[in-house]
Amino acid sequence: MPQGDYIELHRKRHGYRHDHFERKRKKEAREVHKRSQIAQKALGIKGKMFAKKRYAEKALMKKTLAMHEESSTRRKVDDDVHDGAIPAYLLDRDETTRAKVLSNTIKQKRKEKAGKWEVPLPKVRPVAEDEMFRVIRSGKRKTKQWKRMITKATFVGPSFTRKPPKYERFIRPSGLRFTKAHVTHPELKCTFNLEIIGVKKNPNGPMYTSLGVMTKGTIIEVNVSELGLVTPAGKVVWGKYAQVTNNPENDGCINAVLLV
């Protein structure tokens, strides 16, 4: 690969060789034969790699040819006669069939019963226990190791009172306690700073849910009264679920997306 423009400079100053274009043309014409020779002669891993590349090229070439031919050939347009004939006044309207509506309601009821919800982050990396808890040594000789400190962000609630420190097994440091979350509305694409009402479910386990630990993928309930949402019945919605989308212990804030 020529680096630098000395070739162009030479060409500008002295022009091309007298047989340059002829030679170029002929070399390019020989290229095809050369390629096929290599394809037949190459052995071992080199041959296999070359064959694979060549096959991919062949498939692509066939596709483009077929595409070009499609526009030039004239085929008789044969529309199949579909089932479910509807009169002209219903043709442009897409009405969901009764069967579909019924099956949808049944599916929704089943999901609600099973407790499965559609969330933006369905799978999250599981957090190991030793990552979540840090062992706190206590006692006169610091030999007792039954206390644990939570190293992730938590939510405790406004009426939280610590258990007597002597009997407290899980320590939630106040530095890692959060009351507000930055919640994004997925359709409006704007973010609000909303108060957290509670932790609904932590995917790592029910113990973490009861402790109020918020890791990535946790479903939390936020106070949306400032958004001004109203139910079809006319009642004001003040609590909605949101899913945490970042790692709060790394960022220092909780980012969540609202589940609409």
Judged by the rule CB under 8 A, the positions of this chain that interact with another protein are 79, 81, 83-89, 91-92
Considering beta carbons, is residue 19 or 92 the nearer one to another protein?
Answer: 92
Q: How far is the CB of 91 from another protein (least distance, A)?
A: 7
Q: How far is the CB of 89 from another protein (least distance, A)?
A: 6
Considering beta carbons, is residue 98 or 235 the nearer one to another protein?
Answer: 98
The end-to-end CA distance of the chain, in Å, is: 56
Query: What is the spatial distance between Cα 215 and Cα 202, in angstroms, rounded to a whole number?
Result: 7
Considering beta carbons, is residue 28 or 92 the nearer one to another protein?
Answer: 92
Considering beta carbons, is residue 45 or 77 the nearer one to another protein?
Answer: 77
Residues 6 or more apart in contact with residue 193 via CB below 8 angstroms: 180, 181, 182, 183
Q: How far is the CB of 2 from another protein (least distance, A)?
A: 58
Alpha helices in the chain (DSSP H): 6-14, 20-41, 44-72, 88-91, 98-114, 129-132, 206-211, 248-251
Q: How far is the CB of 94 from another protein (least distance, A)?
A: 14
Considering beta carbons, is residue 33 or 93 the nearer one to another protein?
Answer: 93
Q: How far is the CB of 197 from another protein (least distance, A)?
A: 38
Query: What is the spatial distance between Cα 180 and Cα 206, in angstroms, rounded to a whole number?
Result: 22
In contact, 50 and 39? CB cutoff 8 Å: yes
Query: What is the spatial distance between Cα 48 and Cα 56, in angstroms, rounded to a whole number?
Result: 12
Query: What is the spatial distance between Cα 212 and Cα 155, in angstroms, rounded to a whole number?
Result: 5
